């Protein structure tokens, strides 16, 4: 198979109602793809529809909750009935949230994994039979830099994204004999509702106040320079159409600095960063290790 796909392919973008998902659905439609955007509630997709209309394109809405088996069966079945095939699946739907391990109950871990990992698996399983039969297709998994580095005080989110990275790496080998490509998208801080929601922690233990404050400071710094989600959408389009594909694409504010910084660090240095006695020491050390200034004042 040719590694690239034409711009007339059928694409499904999950979590299309905001952020990267909305931008990707609209951008792929602008490039000539037939795009189905999945949303949990069509009634709340007014901004998506308005932006698509403003840009002169159409995104076909499919009501679907990736956290539910039957909902995915019905939603993906609706797409296949309408279009006959899926050439590109963009697994973007996800949830975030802050919490250290001691503060986070197991139900939260399970809910986070159910959306961020199992949700993608449900969609992948729905499209793979057809892709294997045609011996073509691209599966795009939107993970995060939190899938490459254990971002502070986001334990369930980090754990789910590391799992999603592992699933994606394995999937790439599993599907290579069938001419199906896997793409891993690793954004840093991008303009998205997921970051706006990461502003408080329920039931936080006071012992971890420093951790949460530094987490929120990271987002405060990032959001002042957050990347437009349409830039990420452009990279996704490139990844699914290029003749020279890569497995991983790192983009958005702070992403490359953090990924490359962690690769340079020893595990001893990583652990020592968590031992910073005050915020100023932490911010100084963070800048030394990653080249990013978290101070916003």
Kindly list the catalytic residues. 157
| Helices within 91-149 (DSSP H only) | 106-113, 119-134
- State which H helix or E strand residue 231 sits in: helix 229-241
Q: What is the rounded CA–CA span in Å between residue 103 and residue 85?
A: 44
- What percent helix, strand, coil does the chain show, rounded to 5? 55, 15, 30
Give the bridge partners for 185, in sequence order.
Answer: 142, 249
Q: What is the rounded CA–CA span in Å between residue 185 and residue 219?
A: 20
Q: What is the rounded CA–CA span in Å between residue 136 and residue 178?
A: 7
- For residue 245, give both structure tokens: 């594909």
DSSP 8-class letter at 116? I
Q: What is the rounded CA–CA span in Å between residue 143 and residue 162?
A: 8
Q: What is the rounded CA–CA span in Å between residue 260 and residue 257?
A: 5
């Amino acid at each position: 198979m040719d590694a690239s796909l034409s711009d007339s392919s059928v694409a499904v973008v999950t979590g299309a109602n905001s952020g990267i998902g909305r931008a990707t659905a609209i951008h792929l439609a602008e490039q000539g793809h037939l795009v189905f955007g999945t949303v949990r509630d069509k009634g709340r997709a007014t901004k998506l529809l308005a932006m698509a209309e403003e840009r002169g394109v159409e995104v076909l809405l499919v009501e679907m909750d990736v956290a539910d088996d039957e909902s995915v069966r019905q939603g993906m079945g609706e797409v296949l009935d309408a279009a006959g095939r899926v050439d590109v699946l963009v697994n973007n739907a996800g949830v975030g949230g802050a919490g250290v391990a001691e503060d986070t109950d197991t139900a939260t871990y399970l809910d986070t994994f159910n959306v961020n990992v199992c949700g993608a698996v449900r969609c992948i399983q729905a499209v793979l039979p057809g892709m294997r039969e045609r011996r073509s297709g691209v599966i795009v998994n939107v993970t995060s830099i939190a899938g490459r580095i254990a971002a502070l005080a986001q334990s369930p989110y980090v754990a789910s994204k590391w799992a999603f990275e592992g699933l994606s790496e394995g999937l790439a080998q599993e599907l290579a004999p069938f001419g199906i490509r896997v793409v891993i998208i690793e954004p840093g801080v991008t303009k998205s509702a997921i970051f706006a929601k990461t502003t408080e922690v329920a039931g936080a233990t006071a012992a971890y106040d420093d951790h949460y404050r530094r987490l929120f400071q990271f987002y405060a710094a990032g959001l002042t320079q957050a990347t437009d989600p349409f830039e990420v959408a452009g990279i996704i389009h490139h990844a699914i159409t290029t003749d020279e594909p890569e497995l991983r694409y790192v983009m958005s504010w702070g992403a490359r600095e953090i990924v490359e910084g962690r690769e340079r660090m020893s595990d001893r240095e990583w652990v020592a960063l968590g031992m910073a006695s005050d915020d100023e020491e932490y911010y100084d050390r963070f800048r030394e290790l990653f080249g990013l200034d978290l101070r916003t004042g």
